[in-house]
């Protein structure tokens, strides 16, 4: 893409206290920056600080869901107008030393099958690039913001949870350092915000949470004038995906005329596989599917059925399966 406004070389910081839990183009910007500026934003974890390393499943059940998924911002980018595109270069993510994964009642792909709250605390080590989920499972540290976007054009408050054409809670795990995200601009100044940072996640985040961890994220924000895109787009640098393909996988499939049901079938089969092969209880297996298993659409043209695959990497287990 081209037709960028002139690059600035300024650096700005935004503390995690400057956060909001709804999208609203009337929220006053925290700062104003030039196109091309680098901005460091501190984010809170997805619970908004309601969970700590000593929390239990009872604390999950008691969470105020109105305060989850806070995003830091908004940042006003000078020169950004509706119809432009905001280029977001993700430069760095600096982690906290812990994260949490929860099964939240009434939330997640298999919510009806997992009614009870559950919580796991992971140790996050940025220096070794690992996430110690438990004594038997270590995940690669692969940080990214689950929620990243700009203010919508519609006035009023909008839930931060569902993604929209302006970005938001997209949970795209490829938006890690080195990736460039493109967002359609809806409001003057774009009003960029980011949060819900994850230390590790499987594509689809089936139980509803990843390894949720507060982080500091550094981005470069550039306005692409007179360039309109219908929905967010992103560019992955060469070699980034190859880093994730150095292991064997066990894959379970689901097949159904309904895409969601096919995804549920693949997820249920994967949970059963983890239970029987690795001797892990069902709730933990569901959480592992959320933080480490990638769901992929294999086939959608041979009506009436969809085929979904669930990919489990061998490398996360310290011991081979039975």
pLDDT for res 222: 98
- The CA-atom distances, in angstroms, between 142 and each of 9, 189, 200, 248 are 28, 30, 5, 18
Q: Are 20 and 157 in contact (CB under 8 A)?
A: no
In what helix (H) or strand (E) does residue 120 lie, and over which residues does it extend? strand 118-125
CA nearest to 99, candidates 201, 243, 218: 201
* Residue 286 token pair: 């569901």
- The CA-atom distances, in angstroms, between 3 and each of 35, 67, 80, 230 are 12, 39, 12, 18
- What is the set of domains in the chain, with CATH numbers? 11-235 (2.60.120.580), 247-316 (3.10.28.20)
Q: How far is 292 from 47, CA to CA, in rounded Å? A: 20
Beta bridge partners of 189: none
Q: How far is 120 from 132, CA to CA, in rounded Å? A: 11
Extract the residue ranges of the chain whose pLDDT is less than 50. Answer: 1-2
pTM of the model: 0.94
- Residue 296: strand, helix, or coil: strand
pLDDT for res 189: 98
Query: Measured between alpha carbons, how far apart are the two ends of the chain, in Å?
Result: 51
CA nearest to 19, candidates 94, 87, 69, 89: 69
pLDDT for res 278: 95
Q: How far is 39 from 121, CA to CA, in rounded Å? A: 30
* Residue 34 token pair: 């030039």
Q: How many CB atoms lie within 10 A of CB 83?
A: 12
């Amino acid at each position: 893409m081209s037709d960028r406004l002139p690059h600035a070389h300024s650096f700005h910081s935004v503390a995690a206290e400057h956060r909001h839990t709804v999208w609203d183009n009337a929220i006053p910007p925290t700062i104003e920056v030039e196109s091309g500026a680098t901005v460091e934003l501190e984010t809170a974890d997805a619970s908004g600080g309601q969970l700590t390393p000593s929390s239990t499943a009872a604390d999950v059940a008691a969470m105020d869901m109105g305060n989850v998924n806070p995003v830091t911002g908004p940042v006003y980018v000078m020169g950004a107008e509706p119809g432009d595109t905001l280029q977001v270069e993700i430069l760095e993510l600096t982690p906290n030393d812990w994260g949490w994964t929860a099964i939240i009642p009434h939330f997640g792909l298999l919510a009806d099958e997992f009614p009870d709250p559950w919580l796991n605390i992971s140790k996050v080590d940025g220096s070794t690039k690992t996430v110690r989920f438990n004594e038997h499972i270590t995940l690669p540290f692969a940080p990214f913001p689950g929620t990243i976007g700009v203010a919508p054009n519609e006035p009023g408050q909008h839930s931060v949870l569902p993604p929209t054409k302006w970005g938001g809670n997209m949970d795209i795990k490829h938006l890690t350092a080195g990736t460039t995200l493109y967002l359609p601009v809806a409001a003057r100044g774009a009003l960029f915000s980011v949060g819900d940072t994850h230390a590790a996640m499987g594509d689809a985040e089936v139980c509803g949470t990843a390894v949720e961890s507060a982080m500091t994220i550094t981005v470069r924000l550039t306005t692409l004038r007179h360039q309109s895109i219908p929905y967010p787009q992103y560019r992955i640098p060469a070699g980034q995906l190859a880093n994730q393909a150095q292991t064997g996988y066990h894959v379970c499939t689901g097949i159904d005329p309904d895409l969601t049901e096919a995804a549920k079938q693949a997820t249920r089969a994967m949970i059963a596989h983890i239970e029987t092969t690795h001797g892990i209880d069902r709730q933990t297996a569901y959480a592992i599917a959320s933080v480490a298993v990638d769901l992929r659409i294999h086939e959608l043209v041979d009506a009436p059925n969809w085929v979904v695959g669930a990919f489990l990497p061998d490398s996360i287990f310290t011991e081979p399966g039975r």
